[in-house]
Protein backbone atom coordinates (compact mmCIF):
# COMPACT_ATOMS: atom_id res chain seq x y z
CA UNK A 1 0.00 0.00 0.00
CA UNK A 2 1.40 3.38 -1.05
CA UNK A 3 1.67 5.88 1.80
CA UNK A 4 0.35 9.01 0.13
CA UNK A 5 0.28 11.13 3.29
CA UNK A 6 3.81 10.95 4.63
CA UNK A 7 6.88 11.85 2.63
CA UNK A 8 9.13 14.67 1.52
CA UNK A 9 10.90 15.48 -1.71
CA UNK A 10 13.80 17.04 0.22
CA UNK A 11 13.36 16.24 3.91
CA UNK A 12 16.41 18.24 5.05
CA UNK A 13 15.19 21.44 3.41
CA UNK A 14 11.51 20.99 4.23
CA UNK A 15 12.10 20.31 7.94
CA UNK A 16 14.92 22.81 8.43
CA UNK A 17 15.15 24.30 11.96
CA UNK A 18 14.15 27.96 12.24
CA UNK A 19 17.66 29.32 12.87
CA UNK A 20 19.09 27.36 9.96
CA UNK A 21 16.25 28.48 7.69
CA UNK A 22 16.86 32.11 8.64
CA UNK A 23 20.56 31.81 7.76
CA UNK A 24 19.77 30.11 4.45
CA UNK A 25 17.21 32.78 3.53
CA UNK A 26 19.65 35.58 4.41
CA UNK A 27 22.36 34.06 2.20
CA UNK A 28 19.86 33.48 -0.61
CA UNK A 29 18.64 37.09 -0.54
CA UNK A 30 22.19 38.48 -0.57
CA UNK A 31 23.24 36.31 -3.51
CA UNK A 32 20.04 36.95 -5.51
CA UNK A 33 20.34 40.71 -5.15
CA UNK A 34 24.00 40.62 -6.14
CA UNK A 35 23.38 38.38 -9.16
CA UNK A 36 20.33 40.32 -10.38
CA UNK A 37 22.17 43.64 -10.03
CA UNK A 38 25.08 42.34 -12.10
CA UNK A 39 23.06 40.55 -14.81
CA UNK A 40 19.56 42.13 -15.09
CA UNK A 41 19.61 45.74 -16.31
CA UNK A 42 16.14 46.63 -14.99
CA UNK A 43 17.02 45.49 -11.48
CA UNK A 44 20.28 47.42 -11.61
CA UNK A 45 18.43 50.57 -12.70
CA UNK A 46 15.77 50.38 -10.01
CA UNK A 47 18.41 49.82 -7.33
CA UNK A 48 20.59 52.64 -8.63
CA UNK A 49 17.58 54.97 -8.73
CA UNK A 50 16.87 54.07 -5.10
CA UNK A 51 20.50 54.56 -4.10
CA UNK A 52 20.92 50.91 -3.11
CA UNK A 53 23.96 48.73 -3.87
CA UNK A 54 24.11 44.95 -3.45
CA UNK A 55 26.37 45.32 -0.41
CA UNK A 56 23.66 47.36 1.33
CA UNK A 57 21.39 44.30 1.48
CA UNK A 58 22.82 42.37 4.40
CA UNK A 59 19.57 41.05 5.88
CA UNK A 60 16.18 40.22 4.29
CA UNK A 61 14.70 43.29 6.00
CA UNK A 62 17.03 45.43 3.87
CA UNK A 63 15.06 44.43 0.78
CA UNK A 64 12.51 47.07 1.73
CA UNK A 65 14.92 49.72 0.43
CA UNK A 66 14.47 48.31 -3.10
CA UNK A 67 11.32 49.33 -5.04
CA UNK A 68 8.77 46.74 -6.09
CA UNK A 69 8.43 45.39 -9.61
CA UNK A 70 4.72 44.83 -10.19
CA UNK A 71 3.35 41.93 -12.18
CA UNK A 72 0.57 44.20 -13.43
CA UNK A 73 3.21 46.45 -15.05
CA UNK A 74 5.09 43.68 -16.87
CA UNK A 75 3.48 44.27 -20.24
CA UNK A 76 4.58 47.91 -20.30
CA UNK A 77 7.98 47.11 -18.77
CA UNK A 78 8.63 44.57 -21.51
CA UNK A 79 7.54 46.96 -24.25
CA UNK A 80 10.06 49.46 -22.94
CA UNK A 81 12.96 47.00 -23.25
CA UNK A 82 11.94 43.96 -25.33
CA UNK A 83 11.51 41.15 -24.84
CA UNK A 84 11.78 40.77 -21.03
CA UNK A 85 12.00 44.35 -19.82
CA UNK A 86 15.59 44.00 -18.65
CA UNK A 87 14.56 41.54 -15.92
CA UNK A 88 16.12 38.45 -17.51
CA UNK A 89 19.77 37.66 -16.82
CA UNK A 90 20.47 35.84 -20.10
CA UNK A 91 19.54 36.49 -23.76
CA UNK A 92 16.66 34.58 -25.39
CA UNK A 93 19.04 32.22 -27.24
CA UNK A 94 20.29 30.93 -23.86
CA UNK A 95 16.78 30.01 -22.69
CA UNK A 96 15.06 26.68 -22.96
CA UNK A 97 11.60 28.00 -23.79
CA UNK A 98 9.70 31.29 -23.99
CA UNK A 99 6.00 31.35 -23.09
CA UNK A 100 3.33 33.90 -23.99
CA UNK A 101 0.65 35.12 -21.60
CA UNK A 102 -2.23 37.39 -22.68
CA UNK A 103 -1.12 40.96 -23.20
CA UNK A 104 1.19 39.67 -24.57
CA UNK A 105 3.61 39.11 -21.69
CA UNK A 106 6.64 36.88 -22.21
CA UNK A 107 7.80 34.37 -19.58
CA UNK A 108 11.27 32.81 -19.91
CA UNK A 109 12.30 29.30 -18.87
CA UNK A 110 15.92 28.60 -18.08
CA UNK A 111 17.98 25.54 -18.91
CA UNK A 112 18.52 24.51 -15.28
CA UNK A 113 17.22 21.13 -14.12
CA UNK A 114 14.03 22.51 -12.57
CA UNK A 115 13.08 26.08 -13.41
CA UNK A 116 9.57 25.93 -11.93
CA UNK A 117 10.16 23.82 -8.76
CA UNK A 118 6.94 21.77 -8.60
CA UNK A 119 8.43 18.49 -7.32
CA UNK A 120 7.81 19.23 -3.63
CA UNK A 121 4.13 20.10 -4.18
CA UNK A 122 3.49 16.79 -5.95
CA UNK A 123 5.10 14.71 -3.22
CA UNK A 124 3.29 16.71 -0.53
CA UNK A 125 -0.01 16.10 -2.35
CA UNK A 126 0.53 12.33 -2.35
CA UNK A 127 1.88 11.68 -5.85
CA UNK A 128 4.43 8.86 -5.95
CA UNK A 129 6.74 7.11 -8.38
CA UNK A 130 4.74 4.90 -10.72
CA UNK A 131 1.57 7.04 -10.73
CA UNK A 132 -0.09 7.60 -14.10
CA UNK A 133 -1.09 11.25 -14.16
CA UNK A 134 -3.54 13.08 -16.42
CA UNK A 135 -2.28 16.63 -16.94
CA UNK A 136 -5.13 18.84 -18.13
CA UNK A 137 -3.28 22.16 -18.20
CA UNK A 138 -2.61 23.72 -21.60
CA UNK A 139 0.65 22.90 -23.39
CA UNK A 140 0.56 25.78 -25.88
CA UNK A 141 1.83 29.30 -25.12
CA UNK A 142 1.17 28.92 -21.36
CA UNK A 143 3.90 27.23 -19.27
CA UNK A 144 1.42 25.35 -17.06
CA UNK A 145 1.27 22.09 -19.01
CA UNK A 146 4.99 21.61 -19.42
CA UNK A 147 6.07 22.87 -16.01
CA UNK A 148 3.86 20.33 -14.24
CA UNK A 149 4.69 17.62 -16.79
CA UNK A 150 8.43 17.85 -16.22
CA UNK A 151 8.14 17.88 -12.43
CA UNK A 152 6.00 14.74 -12.56
CA UNK A 153 8.57 12.98 -14.69
CA UNK A 154 11.32 13.92 -12.26
CA UNK A 155 9.52 12.19 -9.40
CA UNK A 156 8.97 9.07 -11.51
CA UNK A 157 5.38 9.47 -12.74
CA UNK A 158 4.02 8.70 -16.19
CA UNK A 159 2.25 11.69 -17.74
CA UNK A 160 -0.70 11.83 -20.12
CA UNK A 161 -0.52 15.28 -21.80
CA UNK A 162 -4.29 15.64 -22.01
CA UNK A 163 -4.57 19.41 -22.15
CA UNK A 164 -7.92 21.17 -21.90
CA UNK A 165 -11.37 20.22 -23.22
CA UNK A 166 -12.62 16.92 -24.71
CA UNK A 167 -14.45 15.94 -21.53
CA UNK A 168 -15.77 12.58 -22.71
CA UNK A 169 -12.35 11.52 -24.02
CA UNK A 170 -10.77 12.69 -20.77
CA UNK A 171 -13.12 10.43 -18.81
CA UNK A 172 -12.50 7.50 -21.16
CA UNK A 173 -8.71 7.90 -20.92
CA UNK A 174 -8.92 8.19 -17.14
CA UNK A 175 -10.67 4.82 -17.03
CA UNK A 176 -8.85 2.87 -19.72
CA UNK A 177 -5.33 3.91 -18.67
CA UNK A 178 -6.03 3.42 -14.94
CA UNK A 179 -5.09 7.01 -14.16
CA UNK A 180 -4.17 7.50 -10.50
CA UNK A 181 -3.35 11.23 -10.46
CA UNK A 182 -4.83 14.42 -11.91
CA UNK A 183 -3.40 17.91 -12.46
CA UNK A 184 -5.55 20.84 -13.53
CA UNK A 185 -8.26 23.17 -12.28
CA UNK A 186 -10.65 21.80 -9.65
CA UNK A 187 -13.71 22.69 -11.71
CA UNK A 188 -12.48 20.69 -14.71
CA UNK A 189 -11.74 17.69 -12.49
CA UNK A 190 -15.34 17.75 -11.29
CA UNK A 191 -16.55 18.06 -14.88
CA UNK A 192 -14.54 14.97 -15.87
CA UNK A 193 -15.70 12.97 -12.85
CA UNK A 194 -19.34 13.84 -13.47
CA UNK A 195 -18.97 12.82 -17.13
CA UNK A 196 -17.30 9.58 -16.04
CA UNK A 197 -20.23 8.91 -13.72
CA UNK A 198 -22.64 9.42 -16.62
CA UNK A 199 -20.61 6.86 -18.60
CA UNK A 200 -20.80 4.34 -15.76
CA UNK A 201 -17.29 4.82 -14.34
CA UNK A 202 -16.96 5.41 -10.60
CA UNK A 203 -14.27 5.05 -7.97
CA UNK A 204 -13.47 1.36 -7.54
CA UNK A 205 -15.67 0.50 -10.51
CA UNK A 206 -13.70 1.69 -13.50
CA UNK A 207 -11.79 4.62 -12.02
CA UNK A 208 -8.46 4.33 -10.20
CA UNK A 209 -8.00 8.06 -9.50
CA UNK A 210 -6.63 8.66 -5.99
CA UNK A 211 -4.82 12.04 -5.86
CA UNK A 212 -5.16 15.44 -7.49
CA UNK A 213 -3.12 18.63 -7.44
CA UNK A 214 -5.34 21.56 -8.43
CA UNK A 215 -4.57 25.19 -9.22
CA UNK A 216 -5.68 28.11 -11.35
CA UNK A 217 -8.84 29.03 -9.44
CA UNK A 218 -10.35 29.12 -5.96
CA UNK A 219 -10.78 25.73 -4.29
CA UNK A 220 -13.70 25.79 -1.86
CA UNK A 221 -13.79 23.24 0.96
CA UNK A 222 -17.20 22.01 -0.21
CA UNK A 223 -15.63 20.90 -3.49
CA UNK A 224 -12.72 19.20 -1.70
CA UNK A 225 -15.20 17.31 0.48
CA UNK A 226 -17.17 16.19 -2.55
CA UNK A 227 -14.03 14.89 -4.29
CA UNK A 228 -13.22 12.83 -1.21
CA UNK A 229 -16.70 11.67 -0.26
CA UNK A 230 -18.25 11.00 -3.65
CA UNK A 231 -15.25 10.02 -5.76
CA UNK A 232 -12.56 8.86 -3.31
CA UNK A 233 -10.05 11.48 -4.52
CA UNK A 234 -7.75 13.39 -2.16
CA UNK A 235 -7.26 16.81 -3.74
CA UNK A 236 -4.64 19.32 -2.66
CA UNK A 237 -4.15 22.82 -4.01
CA UNK A 238 -1.05 24.71 -5.01
CA UNK A 239 -0.32 28.29 -5.95
CA UNK A 240 2.10 29.74 -8.45
CA UNK A 241 2.55 32.06 -11.39
CA UNK A 242 4.03 31.86 -14.87
CA UNK A 243 6.72 34.31 -13.79
CA UNK A 244 7.88 32.67 -10.56
CA UNK A 245 6.70 29.05 -10.62
CA UNK A 246 5.80 27.39 -7.32
CA UNK A 247 4.76 29.79 -4.53
CA UNK A 248 2.81 27.53 -2.18
CA UNK A 249 1.49 23.99 -1.78
CA UNK A 250 -0.69 21.99 0.57
CA UNK A 251 0.46 18.90 2.46
CA UNK A 252 -1.83 16.09 3.65
CA UNK A 253 -2.96 18.27 6.59
CA UNK A 254 -4.42 20.79 4.10
CA UNK A 255 -4.36 23.76 6.48
CA UNK A 256 -2.61 26.31 4.32
CA UNK A 257 0.01 26.23 1.56
CA UNK A 258 3.68 25.79 2.53
CA UNK A 259 5.99 28.46 1.12
CA UNK A 260 8.75 26.77 -0.92
CA UNK A 261 12.24 26.84 0.57
CA UNK A 262 13.77 28.09 -2.70
CA UNK A 263 12.22 31.56 -2.66
CA UNK A 264 12.06 34.51 -0.27
CA UNK A 265 8.51 35.69 0.35
CA UNK A 266 7.35 38.97 1.88
CA UNK A 267 3.83 40.02 2.81
CA UNK A 268 3.24 43.75 2.47
CA UNK A 269 0.33 46.05 3.21
CA UNK A 270 -0.82 47.01 -0.31
CA UNK A 271 -1.87 50.47 0.87
CA UNK A 272 1.32 51.49 2.71
CA UNK A 273 4.01 49.09 1.47
CA UNK A 274 4.90 48.25 5.07
CA UNK A 275 5.33 44.62 6.18
CA UNK A 276 2.03 42.88 6.93
CA UNK A 277 2.25 40.86 10.17
CA UNK A 278 1.35 37.15 10.32
CA UNK A 279 -2.43 36.75 10.40
CA UNK A 280 -3.08 39.97 8.46
CA UNK A 281 -4.00 40.26 4.79
CA UNK A 282 -1.03 41.26 2.67
CA UNK A 283 0.21 41.23 -0.90
CA UNK A 284 2.54 38.37 -1.87
CA UNK A 285 5.96 39.74 -2.88
CA UNK A 286 8.68 37.36 -4.06
CA UNK A 287 12.44 37.45 -4.48
CA UNK A 288 13.42 34.63 -6.83
CA UNK A 289 16.98 33.21 -6.96
CA UNK A 290 16.88 32.07 -10.57
CA UNK A 291 19.90 32.28 -12.88
CA UNK A 292 17.71 33.04 -15.89
CA UNK A 293 15.04 35.27 -14.33
CA UNK A 294 16.31 36.62 -10.98
CA UNK A 295 13.40 38.69 -9.74
CA UNK A 296 13.89 41.04 -6.78
CA UNK A 297 10.75 42.13 -4.91
CA UNK A 298 8.27 40.96 -7.54
CA UNK A 299 4.78 42.01 -6.41
CA UNK A 300 2.32 39.38 -7.62
CA UNK A 301 -0.87 41.36 -6.94
CA UNK A 302 -2.27 38.38 -5.00
CA UNK A 303 -3.60 38.92 -1.47
CA UNK A 304 -3.12 36.23 1.17
CA UNK A 305 -2.59 35.61 4.89
CA UNK A 306 0.67 34.19 6.24
CA UNK A 307 1.03 31.93 9.27
CA UNK A 308 4.24 30.94 11.05
CA UNK A 309 2.48 28.36 13.24
CA UNK A 310 4.00 24.85 13.08
CA UNK A 311 2.32 22.31 10.82
CA UNK A 312 1.65 18.75 12.04
CA UNK A 313 3.17 17.40 8.81
CA UNK A 314 6.67 18.30 10.06
CA UNK A 315 7.45 20.94 7.46
CA UNK A 316 8.83 24.05 9.09
CA UNK A 317 8.15 26.64 6.39
CA UNK A 318 5.51 29.34 6.87
CA UNK A 319 2.15 28.80 5.21
CA UNK A 320 -0.17 30.94 3.12
CA UNK A 321 -3.52 30.20 4.74
CA UNK A 322 -5.58 31.12 1.70
CA UNK A 323 -5.76 33.45 -1.26
CA UNK A 324 -8.31 36.18 -0.59
CA UNK A 325 -8.27 38.29 -3.75
CA UNK A 326 -6.26 40.69 -5.86
CA UNK A 327 -4.82 44.16 -5.34
CA UNK A 328 -6.09 45.21 -8.76
CA UNK A 329 -9.09 44.22 -10.88
CA UNK A 330 -7.20 41.41 -12.60
CA UNK A 331 -9.42 38.36 -12.24
CA UNK A 332 -8.78 34.67 -12.77
CA UNK A 333 -11.60 33.01 -14.72
CA UNK A 334 -11.47 29.29 -15.52
CA UNK A 335 -7.78 29.35 -14.66
CA UNK A 336 -6.95 32.30 -16.95
CA UNK A 337 -6.09 35.83 -15.85
CA UNK A 338 -8.31 38.50 -17.41
CA UNK A 339 -7.11 42.11 -17.22
CA UNK A 340 -9.23 45.29 -17.31
CA UNK A 341 -7.12 46.37 -20.30
CA UNK A 342 -8.45 43.37 -22.24
CA UNK A 343 -12.03 44.51 -21.65
CA UNK A 344 -11.10 47.95 -22.94
CA UNK A 345 -9.34 46.31 -25.89
CA UNK A 346 -12.54 44.46 -26.81
CA UNK A 347 -14.59 47.65 -26.61
CA UNK A 348 -12.06 49.48 -28.77
CA UNK A 349 -12.27 46.93 -31.59
CA UNK A 350 -15.88 47.78 -32.46
CA UNK A 351 -16.90 51.45 -32.91
CA UNK A 352 -20.53 50.57 -32.05
CA UNK A 353 -19.60 49.69 -28.44
CA UNK A 354 -19.96 52.53 -25.93
CA UNK A 355 -18.73 50.48 -22.96
CA UNK A 356 -18.09 46.88 -21.94
CA UNK A 357 -17.95 45.11 -18.61
CA UNK A 358 -17.20 41.46 -17.84
CA UNK A 359 -19.30 39.98 -15.05
CA UNK A 360 -18.12 36.72 -13.50
CA UNK A 361 -20.48 34.37 -11.67
CA UNK A 362 -20.26 30.76 -10.55
CA UNK A 363 -22.80 27.95 -10.71
CA UNK A 364 -21.81 24.81 -8.74
CA UNK A 365 -18.14 24.47 -9.74
CA UNK A 366 -18.26 26.31 -13.07
CA UNK A 367 -17.27 29.92 -13.80
CA UNK A 368 -19.42 31.94 -16.18
CA UNK A 369 -18.33 35.11 -17.96
CA UNK A 370 -21.03 37.46 -19.17
CA UNK A 371 -20.03 40.38 -21.35
CA UNK A 372 -22.39 43.25 -20.67
CA UNK A 373 -22.28 45.55 -23.66
CA UNK A 374 -23.64 49.08 -23.93
CA UNK A 375 -24.04 50.13 -27.56
CA UNK A 376 -23.84 53.64 -28.94
CA UNK A 377 -27.19 55.28 -29.64
CA UNK A 378 -27.26 54.56 -33.37
CA UNK A 379 -26.25 50.90 -33.04
CA UNK A 380 -28.66 47.99 -32.98
CA UNK A 381 -28.21 44.77 -31.04
CA UNK A 382 -28.25 41.57 -33.09
CA UNK A 383 -27.28 37.91 -32.84
CA UNK A 384 -24.61 38.48 -35.48
CA UNK A 385 -23.04 41.30 -33.45
CA UNK A 386 -23.16 39.18 -30.30
CA UNK A 387 -21.43 36.30 -32.09
CA UNK A 388 -18.75 38.67 -33.36
CA UNK A 389 -18.13 39.99 -29.83
CA UNK A 390 -17.92 36.46 -28.44
CA UNK A 391 -15.28 35.52 -31.00
CA UNK A 392 -13.25 38.70 -30.44
CA UNK A 393 -13.32 38.13 -26.68
CA UNK A 394 -12.13 34.56 -27.17
CA UNK A 395 -9.18 35.78 -29.26
CA UNK A 396 -8.25 38.38 -26.62
CA UNK A 397 -8.79 36.37 -23.42
CA UNK A 398 -8.79 32.71 -24.62
CA UNK A 399 -12.16 32.39 -22.89
CA UNK A 400 -15.67 32.02 -24.25
CA UNK A 401 -18.44 34.08 -22.66
CA UNK A 402 -21.98 35.17 -23.33
CA UNK A 403 -23.08 38.61 -24.52
CA UNK A 404 -25.84 40.61 -22.90
CA UNK A 405 -26.77 43.98 -24.39
CA UNK A 406 -27.85 46.47 -21.71
CA UNK A 407 -28.65 50.16 -21.30
CA UNK A 408 -26.08 52.47 -19.74
CA UNK A 409 -28.32 52.90 -16.70
CA UNK A 410 -28.15 49.13 -16.00
CA UNK A 411 -24.38 48.97 -15.54
CA UNK A 412 -23.45 47.92 -12.00
CA UNK A 413 -20.39 49.62 -10.49
CA UNK A 414 -19.45 51.29 -13.80
CA UNK A 415 -15.97 52.15 -12.49
CA UNK A 416 -15.09 48.45 -12.73
CA UNK A 417 -14.22 46.77 -16.03
CA UNK A 418 -14.52 43.34 -14.36
CA UNK A 419 -17.20 42.61 -11.77
CA UNK A 420 -16.59 39.41 -9.82
CA UNK A 421 -19.81 38.19 -8.20
CA UNK A 422 -18.60 34.71 -7.26
CA UNK A 423 -19.09 33.51 -3.69
CA UNK A 424 -16.65 31.15 -1.96
CA UNK A 425 -17.13 29.11 1.21
pLDDT for 335 beyond 90: no
pLDDT for 329 beyond 80: no
Report strand pairing: 206-207 vs 298-307: unpaired
**pLDDT at residue 423, as a whole number:** 79
Residues 122-146 have pLDDT tens digits of: 999 999 999 999 999 999 999 999 9
* Percentages (nearest 5) of helix, strand, coil residues in the chain: 30, 25, 40
Residue 152 contacts residue 120 (beta carbons within 8 Å): no
Sorting pLDDT into bands at 50, 70 and 90, what band is 27?
very high
Neighbouring residues of 161: CB distance < 8 A, sequence distance ≥ 6: 135, 139, 145, 149
Sorting pLDDT into bands at 50, 70 and 90, what band is 162?
very high
Residues 177-190 have pLDDT tens digits of: 999 999 999 999 99
Give, in degrees to the nearest 5, the angle at Cα 215 between 169 and 271: 150
Residues 219-237 have pLDDT tens digits of: 999 999 999 999 999 999 9
Residues 45-56 have pLDDT tens digits of: 999 999 999 999
- 3-state helix/strand/coil string of 224-251: HHHHHHHHCCEEEEEEEECCCEEEEECC
Question: Where does 333-420 sit in CATH, by number?
Answer: 3.30.300.30
Residues 297, 249: Cα–Cα separation, whole Å: 21
Neighbouring residues of 404: CB distance < 8 A, sequence distance ≥ 6: 370, 371, 372, 373
- 66-70, 272-276, 332-336, 409-413 — which is least confidently predicted? 332-336
Sorting pLDDT into bands at 50, 70 and 90, what band is 78?
very high
pLDDT for 301 beyond 80: yes
Amino acid sequence: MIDRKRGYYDAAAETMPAAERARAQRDMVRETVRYAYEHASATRRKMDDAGVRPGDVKEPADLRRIPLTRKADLKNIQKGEPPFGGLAAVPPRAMRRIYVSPGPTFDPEGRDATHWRWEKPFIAAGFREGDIVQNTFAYHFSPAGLMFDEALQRIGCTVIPAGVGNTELQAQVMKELNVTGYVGTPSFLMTILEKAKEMGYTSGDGLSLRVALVAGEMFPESLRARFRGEFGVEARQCYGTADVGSLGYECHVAKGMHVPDEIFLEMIDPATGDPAPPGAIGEVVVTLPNRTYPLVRFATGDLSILSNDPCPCGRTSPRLLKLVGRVDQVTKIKGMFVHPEQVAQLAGKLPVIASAQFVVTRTAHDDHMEMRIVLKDAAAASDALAARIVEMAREITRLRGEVRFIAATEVEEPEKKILDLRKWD
